[in-house]
Amino acid sequence: MKLLEGRLIAVSNRLPVEVKFRAGHPRLSQSAGGLATALDSIWRNSHGVWVGWAGSVDSETAANLLQKASRGRSYSFKGVPLTRDEISKFYSGFANEIIWPLFHDMPSRCDFDPEFWEVYQRVNRRFAQAAAEMASSKDLIWAHDYHLMLMGKYLREVGSTAHTGFFLHIPFPAPDMFEKLPWRRQILRALLQYQLLGFQTDRDRYNFLSCLERIVPEATSVRDDPYNTVALEGLRTRVGTFPISIAFEEFANHAASQEVEAGANQFRHELNNKFLVLGVDRMDYTKGIPERLKAFRILLRRYPELRHRVTLLQVVVPSREEIPNYKELRREVELLVSQINGEFTESGWVPIHYMHRNLTRKQLLTYYRAADIAIITSLKDGMNLVAKEFCAAQVDECGVVVISEFTGAAAELQHGALVVNPNDLAGIAEAIYRACVMPVEEKRARMRLLRDIIRTHNVQSWADAFLNAALTTESAIPAKAHEGSQRDIPLIASASSQDQRIA
Ligand code: ADQ
């Protein structure tokens, strides 16, 4: 295991803290989310800087507040200022109205506005400058997610000599989908300017390699187990699979605490010990929330004996509310909840409990512990950390996971979970029924297996694997690249012609 000699420069669109105005005064608040939680564990073993947008506030105020927030941490924060127009065209526009829907196989939701592309390039350049300013050749610049796909190219342009890596938290689509993107070639070529590219699953990695084969045929790829190495114009990029995970022990220990246990018992008591099915998601059209609600309705119609005995708790955290698609989704979800409750509610039993707000970690763990089933019906999902968090919280090993086959998590959890096709509403209803009647020994055997997997493949092992791969990548910047060579250089002379094909 190679250790980082220098510092870690983590770069993400948002910082884990955000400046917001309360009573006219700027204040820092913690922003929730999978990435913040994941990176938190990494900083325990490394020091450095986290670069990202800190909220709509002037640079000086942001810098002062971020400096204060950095005290007592192993890393500091550096804000990247973005204007309102940039937030709208780079973040809401290019990232969330083009890349997000396209990479989740929903091209009809894309708005391919060419102005979004202009701003996306400009903002990526600014992030690269901010990261490069503070990075030395011993440091690793680790960029996160689809907002920063071009940053590797700009890092080279500004002459950064740091190690570079990029991790994509969302799926990478197959070529037929990806090629709809007007800027497909520029994006693939820019990604190849990073030294390491990490994907959540093998499927994503192979989709990326297949896209290269079709769209950037001048790139060559060889297998270099457990990675692929892609060569283009004198540069090489290592490509690997690194399924993200959670801080298992932290979740499990907190879930086992007396306060969480007492809260879970209290909640179950209030529900009259009904069988509890739990959904926890960002309000996002990729998460399959309407599909889940419709499946629950089928369950109650098909199995009247479950009425009064099963309750669905659906928790959604508000998300991207400035984008019209998201507003419509909220209306659709709330209409379905009220229709289903209208159809089935009887004295002493409401079939669906619905919450639309942010929860604290303790509240989230209380619901995870109280629940008998976690239901994840994403139409497509890079990983889905909720599935893993639920398993970590099952300290008495009795919960069942029903999970969509189109999540990254299903690739790891398929042998312990009940795997469903989220478009098969009757199939989801049957899976919930099966979980309701599953013998307790089977539940325990499945949950033990799931917990063992997540305990071993936790967020620390994810970060270690990525860092190790980044630091052992050969030839950071070959001399030819500095000279601006356009020639393809055969990097692995001994590779057979078959190996030269993208695997
Ligand atoms: P998300 O799409 O946000 O992440 P997910 O992986 O499920 O999806 O993470 C959501 C996080 O938000 C979880 O940690 C969960 O606990 C938290 N959360 C959900 N509802 C909440 C609520 N009401 N209150 C508080 N917290 C809540 C993206 C990708 C995923 C990928 C992650 C990490 O879309 O596929 O798994 O990044 O790589």
Q: What is the pLDDT of residues 445-474, one digit of tens each?
A: 999 999 999 999 999 999 999 999 999 987
Question: Which residues of 188-333 form beta strands (DSSP E)?
Answer: 196-199, 220-224, 227-232, 235-241, 275-282, 310-317
Q: Could you say which DSSP state residue 194 is in?
A: S
Q: Does residue 256 register a pLDDT over 80?
A: yes
Q: Does residue 73 register a pLDDT over 90?
A: no
Of all protein residues, the one whose alpha carbon is nearest to atom 7 of ligand 1 is 384
Residue 158 Cα, ligand 1 centroid: separation in angstroms? 34
The reply to whether omega before 226 is within 30° of 0 (cis) is yes
How far apart CA 431 and CA 425 sit, in angstroms, is 10
Question: What is the arithmetic mean of pLDDT over 262-271?
Answer: 95
- Residue among 35, 283, 384, 389 whose CB has most ligand 1 atoms within 8 A, to mutate: 384
pLDDT category at 44 given cuts 50, 70, 90 is: confident
- Regarding the beta carbon of 459 and ligand 1, being less than 6 Å apart is answered no
Q: Are 410 and 376 in contact (CB under 8 A)?
A: no
Of all protein residues, the one whose alpha carbon is nearest to atom 37 of ligand 1 is 169
Question: What is the arithmetic mean of pLDDT over 411-418?
Answer: 97
Catalytic residue among 147, 169, 254, 457, which? 169
- Regarding the beta carbon of 102 and ligand 1, being less than 6 Å apart is answered no
Per mean pLDDT, which range of 45-54, 86-95, 165-174 is the poorest? 45-54
Per mean pLDDT, which range of 127-136, 160-169, 324-333, 480-489 is the poorest? 480-489
Averaged pLDDT of the chain: 91
Whether the model pTM is above 0.85 = yes
Question: Which residues of 330-372 form beta strands (DSSP E)?
Answer: 352-356
pLDDT of amino acid 491: 30
pLDDT of amino acid 498: 33
- Regarding the beta carbon of 243 and ligand 1, being less than 6 Å apart is answered no
pLDDT category at 502 given cuts 50, 70, 90 is: very low
- pLDDT digit string (tens) for 303-324? 999 999 999 999 999 888 888 8
A 10 A CB-CB count for 262 gives: 11
- Regarding the beta carbon of 201 and ligand 1, being less than 6 Å apart is answered no
- Regarding the beta carbon of 385 and ligand 1, being less than 6 Å apart is answered yes
Per mean pLDDT, which range of 271-280, 289-298, 390-399, 410-419 is the poorest? 271-280
- For the CA of 358, the closest atom of ligand 1 is 24
pLDDT category at 110 given cuts 50, 70, 90 is: very high
pLDDT category at 476 given cuts 50, 70, 90 is: very low
Question: Which residues of 219-368 form beta strands (DSSP E)?
Answer: 220-224, 227-232, 235-241, 275-282, 310-317, 352-356
- Regarding the beta carbon of 37 and ligand 1, being less than 6 Å apart is answered yes
pLDDT of amino acid 225: 92
Q: Could you say which DSSP state residue 108 is in?
A: G
pLDDT of amino acid 503: 36
H-run or E-run covering 412: helix 408-413
pLDDT category at 38 given cuts 50, 70, 90 is: confident
Dihedral sign computed on CA atoms, order 325, 326, 327, 329: positive
Per mean pLDDT, which range of 11-15, 219-223, 474-478 is the poorest? 474-478
Q: Does residue 489 register a pLDDT over 50?
A: no
- Regarding the beta carbon of 377 and ligand 1, being less than 6 Å apart is answered no
- Regarding the beta carbon of 165 and ligand 1, being less than 6 Å apart is answered no
Q: Does residue 374 register a pLDDT over 80?
A: yes
Percent of the chain having pLDDT more than 90? 78
Q: Which long-range contacts (CB under 8 A, 24 or more apart) does 423-427 make?
A: 423/291, 423/379, 425/291, 425/294, 425/295, 425/298, 426/295, 426/298
> Catalytic residue at 254?
no
> Which residue type sits at 227?
Y
Question: What is the arithmetic mean of pLDDT over 325-335?
Answer: 93
Question: What is the arithmetic mean of pLDDT over 154-167?
Answer: 97
> Catalytic residue at 145?
no
Residue 385 Cα, ligand 1 centroid: separation in angstroms? 6
Determine the 3-state secondary structure of 162 from DSSP.
Answer: coil
Percent of the chain having pLDDT more than 70? 93
Length of the chain as a residue count: 503
The two three-digit tokens of residue 490, written as one number: 């055969």
How far apart CA 198 and CA 210 sit, in angstroms, is 15
Tell me the Ramachandran region of residue 55: left when phi exceeds 0, alpha when psi lies from -120 to 50, beta otherwise: left
pLDDT category at 495 given cuts 50, 70, 90 is: very low
Contacts of 128 (CB under 8 A, 6+ apart): 151, 153, 154, 155, 157, 158, 160
- pLDDT digit string (tens) for 26-35? 888 876 566 7
pLDDT category at 201 given cuts 50, 70, 90 is: very high
- pLDDT digit string (tens) for 207-226? 999 999 999 999 999 999 99
Question: What is the arithmetic mean of pLDDT over 73-100?
Answer: 94
Q: Are 38 and 54 in contact (CB under 8 A)?
A: no
Contacts of 240 (CB under 8 A, 6+ apart): 196, 197, 198, 199, 205, 226, 227, 228, 465, 466, 469
Burial of 56 (0-12, 13-18, 19+ CB in 10 A): middle
pLDDT of amino acid 25: 81
Mutual orientation of helices 361-370 and 258-270 as an angle, nearest 10°?
A: 60
Residue owning tokens 């390039």 = 121
Q: Which long-range contacts (CB under 8 A, 24 or more apart) does 252-260 make?
A: 252/392, 252/393, 252/395, 252/451, 252/455, 254/361, 254/362, 254/365, 255/365, 255/368, 255/369, 255/392, 255/393, 255/394, 255/395, 256/395, 259/362, 260/362, 260/365, 260/366, 260/369
- Regarding the beta carbon of 381 and ligand 1, being less than 6 Å apart is answered yes
Catalytic residue among 163, 284, 381, 457, which? 381
- Residue among 168, 385, 403, 466 whose CB has most ligand 1 atoms within 8 A, to mutate: 385
Does 395 or 67 have the greater pLDDT score? 395
- For the CA of 359, the closest atom of ligand 1 is 24
Q: Does residue 484 register a pLDDT over 70?
A: no
